[in-house]
Structure 1
């Protein structure tokens, strides 16, 4: 898992089955949050890129406090729709982060499955 590249993620099981230490060693950001949108995991890579400490992010709402620039139909609404309709979500999009930084092009991978305790957002800086 330590050498896993963003493009090598083929299923949610690879992320959900990894240990916190393995997720911290990845070269891309991983945010795990619950059905209420509360961040439960924020990997070291995303912390380094965003400049936000893990301690300040865990326990906060992802789309209203941590990353309000993603509180829109392209990101937050996709998770909400999957939750409401009981569907799996696995979608990648190109996106531009704009909060607390100059515009930064990223590839987002949105992943969720009914019954799992966490939903995941993967961020790869282009």
Structure 2
């Protein structure tokens, strides 16, 4: 499957994203924030950069839940990644959410993806139109 056929709801999306180049991630029509086991951002696509108003240079390497998106540092988002890691289980959940940092409140759907075998974890952001 190539990046042009990926959507927010694609099954087994984390493994597909693991195989995408940064250029392919930039072609997606939803936000992709990929981060490592220490919660440091490793991937930040163009869609999310433009929507959030944060450049990849400002975000890459920064801790997601404290420096980049502290509004996600709660039981609905960050805690689910911690729980999946502690249990050694796969995480694939979609939640309705409201982003509030640096902007007026914006309703979104977040898809939280993590796999014990995967190098990256993902917060995907689908903005409501």
TM-score range, shorter chain: over 0.9
Which consecutive residues of structure 2, in runs of 5 or more, have no partner in the other structure?
A: none
Match of 2:18 in 1: 16
Segments of 4+ moved more than 6 angstroms? none
Which consecutive residues of structure 1, in runs of 5 or more, have no partner in the other structure?
A: none
Q: Output the TM-score relative to the length of structure 1.
A: 0.95
Of 115-124 and 12-21, more deviation after overlay is shown by 12-21
Match of 2:65 in 1: 63
Match of 1:41 in 2: 43
How large is the Cα RMSD of the aligned pairs?
Answer: 1.0
User: How many pairs align?
Assistant: 125
Distance 1:6 1:84 in 2: 26
CA deviation after TM superposition for structure 1 residue 3, in Å = 4.4
Q: Output the TM-score relative to the length of structure 2.
A: 0.93
